[in-house]
Amino acid sequence: MCSTMCIQTPTFSPSTTHCFFRQPISSPFLSSSRKLYNVLRLNGGVNVQFSNGKKRGAIFSASVGQNSSNDTEGKRKVVEHICLLKAKENLSEEEEKDMLDYLYTTQYQMRGIIAITLGRISDQNIENYTHAVYMRFQRKEDLGKFYENPFYLGVLRERVMPYCHGLIYVDFESEVEDDILPIFRKGEEFNYGVEFILLISFAKSKFGGPAEDALASLAELILEFPSLIVQSTQGLNFCPSSKEYTHGVVIRFRSIEALELFTGSTEYKDIWRSKFQMIVQKTLPIHFSVDPVGTEIM
């Protein structure tokens, strides 16, 4: 790693692929030059402005859970599980569908999984991960049983690893609104959109104050954009077998346009520059599109 903590900013190239169901570190989110009226039209005429001194308004409510929040009233703890896969270059469409179908059906074979999305990663990334699996559990104990479940181990052995040459896990605990729809990620708002996963490696010396302050600032900013974001969680990675990244963030955007607008906003760039840039060693941002269940999977 270079002495000034250098990393190339990921580029964004829109993709039609849907999920089956050397400068100092700069923002891992995607830059955007799209006009605001795209999201205004998608969200039914909300009045949102990114420029300084303008108002932000929205007709949607976002459920954003963060560990850094001091207000725990009306919150429910959840455990987020992320698995990123590196598929072989010669993976066929049939093999890909078989692999993702089996991973998706794990929720029906064991207790504890309360939400799941997965799919082909839409953007290139420096680590060459090709597919992402996101799951939500109620408790850490449920996640522990998941890792040891014979059905899941069989899926990995017979349906995943023959097609892949690498994977990484990140697990973290967070909080969401204590209501059935945000907990289980159910309802119309969760049927579509873009799943954005950001893995962060903070310098160990910055754990505690600086890192928590940076994540709290991001959480506060996310709360200001309910017209773009359905839900967000973040937390410290406690997966014992994978410590490459110290923290994980999961954000469900309402659309690609919403993702572009948020990541291209001056507010986000200012937070990244002032809070994250000097204390982050590396980041890995990926995203994939989410379709209503039944359009691709099953």
pLDDT of residue 60: 33
In this structure, whether the domain defined by 6-67+76-290 belongs to CATH 3.40.50.300 is answered with no
Residue of 76, 47, 49 lying closest to 63 (CA atoms): 76
The pLDDT averaged over each successive group of 10 residues in the chain (298 residues) is: 34 37 52 37 35 33 44 85 97 96 94 96 94 98 96 97 96 97 96 97 90 97 97 97 95 97 96 96 96 52
pLDDT of residue 205: 85
pLDDT of residue 296: 42
Question: Where exactly are the structural domains of the chain?
Answer: 6-67+76-290
Distance CA 178, CA 184 (A): 10
pLDDT of residue 71: 52
Distance CA 157, CA 242 (A): 19
> What pTM was estimated for this model as a whole?
0.79
- Token duo for residue 185: 């990620």
pLDDT of residue 57: 30
pLDDT of residue 9: 32
Work out the angle at residue 246's Cα, subtended by the Cα atoms of residues 290 and 161, and round it to the nearest 5 degrees: 55
Handedness of CA 167, 83, 174, 226 (dihedral sign): positive
